[in-house]
Structure 1
Protein backbone atom coordinates (compact mmCIF):
# COMPACT_ATOMS: atom_id res chain seq x y z
CA UNK A 1 0.00 0.00 0.00
CA UNK A 2 1.09 3.62 -0.50
CA UNK A 3 3.37 5.43 1.92
CA UNK A 4 2.51 8.95 0.76
CA UNK A 5 4.76 8.61 -2.26
CA UNK A 6 3.97 8.66 -5.94
CA UNK A 7 3.62 5.32 -7.67
CA UNK A 8 6.57 4.79 -10.04
CA UNK A 9 6.38 2.35 -12.97
CA UNK A 10 9.05 -0.04 -14.10
CA UNK A 11 11.54 1.53 -16.54
CA UNK A 12 10.29 1.97 -20.10
CA UNK A 13 12.75 2.12 -23.02
CA UNK A 14 12.12 4.28 -26.06
CA UNK A 15 11.69 2.06 -29.13
CA UNK A 16 13.27 2.86 -32.52
CA UNK A 17 9.88 2.80 -34.29
CA UNK A 18 8.65 5.58 -31.99
CA UNK A 19 11.15 8.14 -33.28
CA UNK A 20 9.78 10.52 -35.92
CA UNK A 21 11.44 12.35 -38.81
CA UNK A 22 12.47 15.16 -36.43
CA UNK A 23 14.66 12.71 -34.54
CA UNK A 24 12.68 12.65 -31.32
CA UNK A 25 9.80 10.72 -29.78
CA UNK A 26 6.62 11.17 -31.82
CA UNK A 27 3.80 12.73 -29.79
CA UNK A 28 1.60 9.63 -30.12
CA UNK A 29 4.13 7.53 -28.22
CA UNK A 30 4.02 9.76 -25.16
CA UNK A 31 0.47 8.38 -24.92
CA UNK A 32 1.81 4.83 -25.23
CA UNK A 33 4.25 5.46 -22.39
CA UNK A 34 1.54 7.01 -20.22
CA UNK A 35 -0.71 4.04 -21.00
CA UNK A 36 1.93 1.48 -20.05
CA UNK A 37 2.89 3.22 -16.83
CA UNK A 38 -0.73 4.04 -16.03
CA UNK A 39 -1.75 0.41 -16.48
CA UNK A 40 0.78 -0.56 -13.81
CA UNK A 41 -0.77 1.97 -11.44
CA UNK A 42 -4.31 0.80 -12.24
CA UNK A 43 -3.23 -2.78 -11.45
CA UNK A 44 -1.88 -1.54 -8.09
CA UNK A 45 -5.32 0.01 -7.45
CA UNK A 46 -6.96 -3.36 -8.19
CA UNK A 47 -7.89 -2.86 -11.86
CA UNK A 48 -5.42 -5.16 -13.62
CA UNK A 49 -5.97 -7.75 -16.34
CA UNK A 50 -7.38 -10.32 -13.88
CA UNK A 51 -9.98 -7.80 -12.70
CA UNK A 52 -11.20 -7.34 -16.28
CA UNK A 53 -11.09 -11.06 -17.13
CA UNK A 54 -12.79 -12.31 -13.96
CA UNK A 55 -15.27 -9.56 -13.18
CA UNK A 56 -15.90 -8.21 -16.69
CA UNK A 57 -15.25 -4.73 -15.26
CA UNK A 58 -12.50 -2.38 -16.36
CA UNK A 59 -11.25 1.19 -16.63
CA UNK A 60 -11.74 3.31 -19.77
CA UNK A 61 -10.07 6.65 -20.35
CA UNK A 62 -12.58 9.47 -20.77
CA UNK A 63 -10.28 12.49 -21.08
CA UNK A 64 -6.55 13.22 -21.10
CA UNK A 65 -4.67 16.52 -21.00
CA UNK A 66 -1.02 16.06 -21.99
CA UNK A 67 1.68 18.69 -21.67
CA UNK A 68 4.83 17.99 -23.67
CA UNK A 69 7.64 19.46 -21.58
CA UNK A 70 10.90 18.15 -23.03
CA UNK A 71 11.90 16.00 -26.01
CA UNK A 72 12.78 12.34 -25.63
CA UNK A 73 15.18 10.46 -27.91
CA UNK A 74 15.98 6.86 -28.79
CA UNK A 75 18.57 6.22 -26.08
CA UNK A 76 16.40 7.65 -23.29
CA UNK A 77 14.79 5.52 -20.60
CA UNK A 78 11.86 6.74 -18.53
CA UNK A 79 9.45 5.83 -15.78
CA UNK A 80 5.91 7.06 -15.20
CA UNK A 81 4.86 8.42 -11.84
CA UNK A 82 1.17 8.36 -10.93
CA UNK A 83 -0.85 10.17 -8.29
CA UNK A 84 -4.50 9.53 -7.44
CA UNK A 85 -5.98 13.02 -7.20
CA UNK A 86 -9.61 12.05 -6.56
CA UNK A 87 -12.32 9.48 -7.18
CA UNK A 88 -16.06 9.13 -6.83
CA UNK A 89 -18.35 6.13 -7.27
CA UNK A 90 -17.54 5.72 -11.00
CA UNK A 91 -14.54 7.89 -11.88
CA UNK A 92 -10.82 8.23 -11.20
CA UNK A 93 -8.84 11.47 -11.54
CA UNK A 94 -5.10 10.81 -11.85
CA UNK A 95 -2.01 12.83 -12.63
CA UNK A 96 1.04 11.26 -14.28
CA UNK A 97 4.51 12.38 -15.27
CA UNK A 98 7.03 10.80 -17.63
CA UNK A 99 10.34 11.07 -15.79
CA UNK A 100 13.64 10.71 -17.63
CA UNK A 101 16.23 8.46 -15.96
CA UNK A 102 18.19 11.65 -15.15
CA UNK A 103 15.23 12.96 -13.14
CA UNK A 104 13.69 15.59 -15.39
CA UNK A 105 10.03 15.70 -16.49
CA UNK A 106 9.44 14.95 -20.18
CA UNK A 107 5.62 15.19 -20.16
CA UNK A 108 2.61 15.31 -17.87
CA UNK A 109 -0.86 13.81 -18.26
CA UNK A 110 -3.98 14.55 -16.26
CA UNK A 111 -6.50 11.76 -16.77
CA UNK A 112 -10.18 11.23 -16.05
CA UNK A 113 -11.08 7.53 -16.20
CA UNK A 114 -14.41 5.73 -15.99
CA UNK A 115 -15.24 2.41 -14.33
CA UNK A 116 -16.98 0.33 -17.00
CA UNK A 117 -19.13 -2.79 -16.94
CA UNK A 118 -17.98 -4.48 -20.15
CA UNK A 119 -21.32 -6.25 -20.65
CA UNK A 120 -22.80 -2.93 -21.83
CA UNK A 121 -20.37 -1.43 -22.09
CA UNK A 122 -21.69 1.10 -19.62
CA UNK A 123 -20.28 3.18 -16.78
CA UNK A 124 -20.94 1.61 -13.39
CA UNK A 125 -19.92 1.98 -9.75
CA UNK A 126 -16.78 0.51 -8.24
CA UNK A 127 -17.39 -2.70 -6.28
CA UNK A 128 -17.42 -2.28 -2.49
CA UNK A 129 -14.23 -4.32 -2.06
CA UNK A 130 -12.26 -1.93 -4.31
CA UNK A 131 -13.21 1.26 -2.45
CA UNK A 132 -10.96 0.79 0.63
CA UNK A 133 -7.85 0.54 -1.58
CA UNK A 134 -8.84 3.64 -3.50
CA UNK A 135 -9.40 5.50 -0.24
CA UNK A 136 -5.97 4.45 1.06
CA UNK A 137 -4.27 5.77 -2.08
CA UNK A 138 -6.32 8.96 -2.05
CA UNK A 139 -5.41 9.64 1.59
CA UNK A 140 -1.73 8.87 1.02
CA UNK A 141 -1.53 10.91 -2.18
CA UNK A 142 -3.48 13.82 -0.67
CA UNK A 143 -0.46 14.40 1.60
CA UNK A 144 1.61 15.14 -1.52
CA UNK A 145 1.66 18.60 -3.07
CA UNK A 146 -1.03 19.19 -5.68
CA UNK A 147 0.76 19.20 -9.06
CA UNK A 148 0.82 22.66 -10.66
CA UNK A 149 -0.55 21.33 -13.95
CA UNK A 150 -3.72 19.79 -12.45
CA UNK A 151 -6.83 21.56 -13.71
CA UNK A 152 -5.17 23.52 -16.49
CA UNK A 153 -7.25 24.59 -19.45
CA UNK A 154 -6.21 24.94 -23.06
CA UNK A 155 -6.60 28.36 -24.61
CA UNK A 156 -4.89 31.45 -25.91
CA UNK A 157 -4.73 34.13 -23.24
CA UNK A 158 -5.63 37.55 -24.61
CA UNK A 159 -4.73 40.83 -22.97
Structure 2
Protein backbone atom coordinates (compact mmCIF):
# COMPACT_ATOMS: atom_id res chain seq x y z
CA UNK A 1 0.00 0.00 0.00
CA UNK A 2 1.20 3.49 -0.83
CA UNK A 3 0.00 6.49 1.18
CA UNK A 4 0.61 10.17 0.48
CA UNK A 5 0.05 12.98 3.00
CA UNK A 6 -0.57 16.44 1.52
CA UNK A 7 -0.67 20.00 2.90
CA UNK A 8 0.12 23.39 1.42
CA UNK A 9 3.89 23.77 1.77
CA UNK A 10 4.93 20.27 2.86
CA UNK A 11 6.92 21.63 5.80
CA UNK A 12 4.52 21.50 8.79
CA UNK A 13 1.48 19.21 8.70
CA UNK A 14 2.18 16.66 5.98
CA UNK A 15 5.75 15.91 7.14
CA UNK A 16 4.36 15.27 10.63
CA UNK A 17 1.61 13.09 9.12
CA UNK A 18 4.21 11.17 7.09
CA UNK A 19 6.39 10.69 10.17
CA UNK A 20 3.52 9.58 12.39
CA UNK A 21 2.16 7.16 9.79
CA UNK A 22 5.63 5.77 9.03
CA UNK A 23 6.26 5.20 12.74
CA UNK A 24 3.00 3.23 13.00
CA UNK A 25 3.74 1.31 9.80
CA UNK A 26 7.10 0.36 11.31
CA UNK A 27 5.54 -0.50 14.68
CA UNK A 28 3.04 -2.87 13.07
CA UNK A 29 5.59 -4.17 10.55
CA UNK A 30 3.45 -3.29 7.54
CA UNK A 31 4.88 -3.29 4.03
CA UNK A 32 3.56 0.16 3.17
CA UNK A 33 5.19 3.17 1.55
CA UNK A 34 4.47 6.58 3.11
CA UNK A 35 5.38 9.95 1.57
CA UNK A 36 4.26 13.57 1.73
CA UNK A 37 3.91 16.50 -0.64
CA UNK A 38 2.63 20.05 -0.82
CA UNK A 39 0.17 21.69 -3.16
CA UNK A 40 2.68 24.49 -3.67
CA UNK A 41 6.37 24.42 -4.54
CA UNK A 42 7.22 27.30 -2.19
CA UNK A 43 9.50 25.17 -0.01
CA UNK A 44 10.66 22.58 -2.53
CA UNK A 45 13.80 20.83 -1.32
CA UNK A 46 13.61 22.32 2.18
CA UNK A 47 13.48 20.23 5.38
CA UNK A 48 10.36 20.29 7.56
CA UNK A 49 9.71 23.28 9.82
CA UNK A 50 11.97 23.28 12.88
CA UNK A 51 8.99 22.86 15.21
CA UNK A 52 7.67 19.87 13.22
CA UNK A 53 11.11 18.28 13.58
CA UNK A 54 11.22 19.12 17.31
CA UNK A 55 7.74 17.83 18.16
CA UNK A 56 8.27 14.64 16.15
CA UNK A 57 11.63 14.09 17.86
CA UNK A 58 9.91 14.53 21.25
CA UNK A 59 7.81 11.50 20.26
CA UNK A 60 10.72 9.43 18.93
CA UNK A 61 10.17 10.24 15.24
CA UNK A 62 12.95 11.55 12.99
CA UNK A 63 11.81 13.90 10.19
CA UNK A 64 15.29 15.23 9.43
CA UNK A 65 15.70 13.30 6.15
CA UNK A 66 12.42 14.55 4.67
CA UNK A 67 12.46 17.26 2.00
CA UNK A 68 9.51 19.23 0.68
CA UNK A 69 8.24 18.38 -2.75
CA UNK A 70 5.22 19.50 -4.75
CA UNK A 71 2.25 17.24 -5.41
CA UNK A 72 2.09 16.13 -9.05
CA UNK A 73 -0.70 14.71 -11.19
CA UNK A 74 1.28 11.46 -11.39
CA UNK A 75 0.94 11.09 -7.61
CA UNK A 76 -2.71 10.27 -8.28
CA UNK A 77 -1.69 7.04 -10.03
CA UNK A 78 1.37 6.33 -7.86
CA UNK A 79 -0.48 6.26 -4.51
CA UNK A 80 -3.38 4.14 -3.27
CA UNK A 81 -4.55 6.71 -0.72
CA UNK A 82 -3.98 10.45 -0.53
CA UNK A 83 -4.80 12.23 2.71
CA UNK A 84 -5.08 16.01 2.71
CA UNK A 85 -5.04 18.31 5.72
CA UNK A 86 -7.88 20.67 4.75
CA UNK A 87 -10.55 21.42 2.15
CA UNK A 88 -8.32 23.83 0.22
CA UNK A 89 -5.67 21.10 -0.10
CA UNK A 90 -8.42 18.80 -1.40
CA UNK A 91 -9.43 21.31 -4.07
CA UNK A 92 -5.80 21.96 -5.00
CA UNK A 93 -5.05 18.22 -5.34
CA UNK A 94 -8.12 17.87 -7.55
CA UNK A 95 -6.99 20.79 -9.72
CA UNK A 96 -3.39 19.57 -10.03
CA UNK A 97 -4.47 15.98 -10.75
CA UNK A 98 -6.59 17.13 -13.67
CA UNK A 99 -7.65 14.19 -15.83
CA UNK A 100 -5.99 11.75 -13.42
CA UNK A 101 -8.28 12.83 -10.54
CA UNK A 102 -9.76 9.90 -8.61
CA UNK A 103 -12.01 11.00 -5.75
CA UNK A 104 -12.00 7.47 -4.31
CA UNK A 105 -8.32 7.87 -3.41
CA UNK A 106 -8.48 11.29 -1.73
CA UNK A 107 -9.91 12.27 1.64
CA UNK A 108 -9.34 14.70 4.47
CA UNK A 109 -7.23 12.90 7.04
CA UNK A 110 -9.44 13.82 10.00
CA UNK A 111 -12.37 12.03 8.36
CA UNK A 112 -10.68 8.91 9.76
CA UNK A 113 -11.78 9.98 13.25
CA UNK A 114 -14.79 12.17 12.39
CA UNK A 115 -16.24 10.57 9.22
CA UNK A 116 -17.84 12.97 6.79
CA UNK A 117 -17.20 16.06 8.92
CA UNK A 118 -14.37 17.32 6.66
CA UNK A 119 -12.56 18.89 9.62
CA UNK A 120 -9.25 20.57 8.90
CA UNK A 121 -5.93 19.97 10.57
CA UNK A 122 -5.04 23.54 11.61
CA UNK A 123 -1.89 24.93 10.04
CA UNK A 124 0.52 25.52 12.94
CA UNK A 125 2.77 27.68 10.76
CA UNK A 126 0.59 30.71 11.51
CA UNK A 127 0.77 30.32 15.29
CA UNK A 128 4.37 28.99 15.29
CA UNK A 129 4.35 27.67 18.87
CA UNK A 130 5.31 24.28 20.27
CA UNK A 131 1.76 24.00 21.60
CA UNK A 132 0.25 24.45 18.12
CA UNK A 133 2.59 21.86 16.60
CA UNK A 134 1.93 19.43 19.47
CA UNK A 135 -1.81 19.81 18.91
CA UNK A 136 -1.36 18.97 15.22
CA UNK A 137 0.80 15.97 16.16
CA UNK A 138 -1.94 14.63 18.47
CA UNK A 139 -4.65 15.10 15.82
CA UNK A 140 -2.51 13.28 13.26
CA UNK A 141 -1.63 10.49 15.67
CA UNK A 142 -5.33 9.81 16.33
CA UNK A 143 -6.13 9.89 12.61
CA UNK A 144 -3.20 7.70 11.60
CA UNK A 145 -4.02 5.11 14.27
CA UNK A 146 -7.56 4.92 12.89
CA UNK A 147 -6.28 4.70 9.31
CA UNK A 148 -3.92 1.86 10.23
CA UNK A 149 -6.87 -0.09 11.62
CA UNK A 150 -9.15 0.70 8.66
CA UNK A 151 -6.61 0.15 5.90
CA UNK A 152 -5.02 -2.92 7.44
CA UNK A 153 -8.38 -4.73 7.29
CA UNK A 154 -8.65 -3.80 3.57
CA UNK A 155 -5.10 -4.86 2.70
TM-score scaled by length of structure 2: 0.26
Return the index of the structure with the highest Cα Rg. 1
Greater per-residue helix proportion:
2
Greater per-residue strand proportion:
1
